[in-house]
Structure 1
């Protein structure tokens, strides 16, 4: 694909992750200032995971059969703009209305993460070689709006202290970005429906067959356990940093530090896998999470508590994204999207939902300034998962073929193998979240 075409897809990724990135790191602080208790905060955070569990497969079938992908993106972000504006206006107050609004918002928006990847893959000449350079702009977008949120809060909020009205300015910013995203998606390459040979249920059933491989099971079990602890990052850490003295306008910027290693890792992923293999790369990611929670459990100085945020990016990039590449290499060509859907459900979906509820309940019962266990428990859990993964996972290099073909080296496979244009090929979703968390 021509460079100009890749840039169009890169801008799409940057805007997509920027919309959520501008308010998600501050959501816990916002809800706390609105007087929402820990249990309901957990439920509101869990609404994203619930939507990620239930909706992506259905939206994928809609796009596969009835609607061009770019049209779905336009409609989703248009409706998302209205919901974000309603949240910013202060019309929606109270735990139950907020939960229902966020559940509706994420039900509309979460499918766009995998569908944007599908759109990009279908419009790239060589997705295996070009997709990482497109996807990394999603992480850049998430990082950039962290700084934008700080500037907006300092400009419009004057750096004010906590108020009963929460932080409406970040939701107005998110609504503006969502509107830009909706308009921009109308200019994307036309990506019409492709008639599927089998139903979504049949494709998912065939994708489950990959679970017969031991290494796939070990990875998915490890991912399930790790993503139980990820909600801690955005439900607890922002309030933790605020309690340690970090000014409110700088919380979003501090949280964005974790995305810097993601950008680097995505840029060098072929080299990283070729040098260390799957096992080494994912082990590094797991170790980064363990170290971050261990440092936070010691109640370090504020500068160190902020600085160890970069380890979150190392964990997401090396374990989550590296794991998606591993799954992509294990799945049959015709069922890669189904396998990635399973990963989405077992990472961003079910464990994140359960983890959000657990963390919300925990926040009701403990004081962040006093209880070392709020970080020590996830440290111990991730440490146990690290040992389990190192002992049980054996794969070092990807498989060149899709049906048990010969083993090839990582860099060659990632850069050399062609992909059939017109096939929906999804390399999953980063909750980031980004940036995923």
Structure 2
């Protein structure tokens, strides 16, 4: 009888175990992916971050060269911060909106192809603009297309890899090397070969258009990756966030992290500062900060075990403040010897604040609320925190760097850098007073299935 019923009622197909989902580890031992697959995914990551790094690092210098009565006189006195706000708005709205389409209509590799083609077309249009409003809405459209590609490239890699913990970090690190290569190309190789610096020109945007086109075409060669239905999970996770806001330790930590990330937005003006200080090969020298970031990532597990997350976060916030003090001191003294350590501190500053913060959120939330907590953390830091920080940068620019009606602009850099230094000082004191490393329900990720924090999907590698 049971045999007849089994024939009459079709079996409901069960999904295969998902090896990259930490809540559902695979039952069988994980096998290594083919070496060629890792190479193909690494090339995707290289182009993913090179396409942004080719132009975004030097964009502040281009804006400064055309602000007020300078250059073409396109921009108002606060546009550096306004431009940065476009990226923050992209981080808030774009992943769910574009992800919804990717989940229902297009495989990941084809969605990446479409989005990078759109980025190329939009960036080409931006490079032709002659008005500030044209630049701003162009940037807004660009980041609405670019930000989802970061999430999609990560999820595509994780779906194709069988052992995410072992195979994904080296592939993701190649993305950082793409950012470094972009800085070396724009800041050093181009002026060396052609005899002219281009950091204050539109040329980096046009070079990046070519990188987006190459990435768009390359994505068509990637392995087929069907929709992963991520957005439904993200919406469900955000719906769980209502319970998390009643947990004082999580809300306190997220608010403090948001404050620290507001100060981090001032770093977007560094390239303009270096060029104002007549530092040769500025963009190339900035890429040294990404090298130290790789070192800080490698050090993160050992540093966490040795110092604990509270001390690690405090040191990361302190490093942000120290580097801003160094930049202020360099501007005040006219000496360049403080610039190298200020750039070198980027790794500790970025990784030990953003990444260790995501790890602490994961520990406090536990496995059931992990997705909601990480979503709240990413929204607060990469979205709201960066947006508020960008607005602060614009206000500081209009007040101290390029005030309206003052020609030539005064560029009071020594006072400008003291603003984020003070903000980081406040954040450090508040962290020391209110940040507890003893959560109510501590949980550790399983060693064979560690969580890849969503903050790793930020724009900067």
Determine if the TM-score, normalized by the shorter chain, exceeds 0.5.
yes
- Which of 90, 94, 104 in structure 2 is aligned with 1:55? 94
Partner of 1:422: none
Hey, what's the Cα distance between the residues in 1 that align with 2:273 and 2:358? 31
Where do 1:2-401 residues align within 5 Å?
Answer: 2=33, 3-34=35-66, 35=73, 36-88=75-127, 91-151=128-188, 153-154=190-191, 158-159=195-196, 166-195=200-229, 200-235=234-269, 237-247=270-280, 250-298=281-329, 299-300=332-333, 301-331=335-365, 333=367, 336-367=370-401, 369-370=411-412, 372-395=414-437
Deviations 1:232-268 (A, max 9, x none): 1113x22222222213xx1211221221121112234
Secondary structure of 1:64 counterpart: helix
**What is the CA–CA distance in structure 1 between the aligned matches of 2:193 and 2:234, rounded to whole Å?**
47
How far the C-alpha of 1:156 sits from its partner, in A, is 7.0
Is this contact kept in 1: 2:91–2:383, CA < 8 A? yes
CA displacement at 1:95 relative to structure 2: 0.4
Q: Is the Cα contact below 8 Å between 2:98 and 2:148 reproduced in 1?
A: yes
Q: Secondary structure at the match of 2:460?
A: strand
Extract unaligned runs of 5+ from structure 1: 420-424
Distance 1:151 1:294, change over 3 A: closer
Q: What is the CA-CA distance between 1:167 and the residue it aligns to?
A: 1.4
Q: Residue 125 of structure 2 contacts residue 138 of structure 2 at CA under 8 Å; is this kept in 1?
A: no
Shift of 1:359: 1.4
> Alpha-carbon deviation of 1:15?
1.6
Alignment CA distance shift 1:181-1:267 (3 Å): farther
User: How far did residue 382 of structure 1 move?
Assistant: 0.8
| Displacement of 1:213 | 3.8
Q: Evaluate the alpha carbon distance shift between residue 272 and residue 186 of structure 1 in structure 2; reply closer, same or farther with a 3 A threshold.
A: farther
Find out whether 1:428 has 2:460 as its counterpart: no
Q: Is the 8 A contact 1:337 1:426 kept in 2?
A: no
- Between the aligned partners of 2:198 and 2:157, the Cα distance in structure 1 is 42
What is the alpha-carbon distance in structure 2 between the residues aligned to residue 417 and residue 329 of structure 1? 16
Structure with max Cα Rg: 2
Question: What are the superposed Cα offsets for residues 84-108 of structure 1, whole Å, 9 maximum, x if unpaired?
Answer: 23334xx211101111111111111
8 Å CA contact 1:153, 1:169 repeated in 2? no
Alpha-carbon offset, residue 185 of structure 1? 1.8
What are the superposed Cα offsets for residues 351-375 of structure 1, whole Å, 9 maximum, x if unpaired? Answer: 2222212212221221465353311
Q: Give the drift of 1:273.
A: 2.4
Closer/same/farther in 2, CA of residues 390 and 169 from structure 1, 3 Å limit: same
Greater Cα offset, 367-376 or 238-247: 367-376
Question: For residues 270 and 426 of structure 1, do their structure 2 counterparts lie closer, same or farther at Cα, with a shift above 3 Å needed?
Answer: closer
Q: Is the 8 A contact 1:336 1:426 kept in 2?
A: no
For the aligned residue pairs, the C-alpha RMSD in angstroms reads 2.8
Deviation >6 Å, runs of 4+: none
The unaligned stretches of length 5 or more in structure 2 are: 1-31, 67-72, 402-409
TM-score, normalization by structure 1:
0.84
Distance 2:430 2:312 in 1: 15
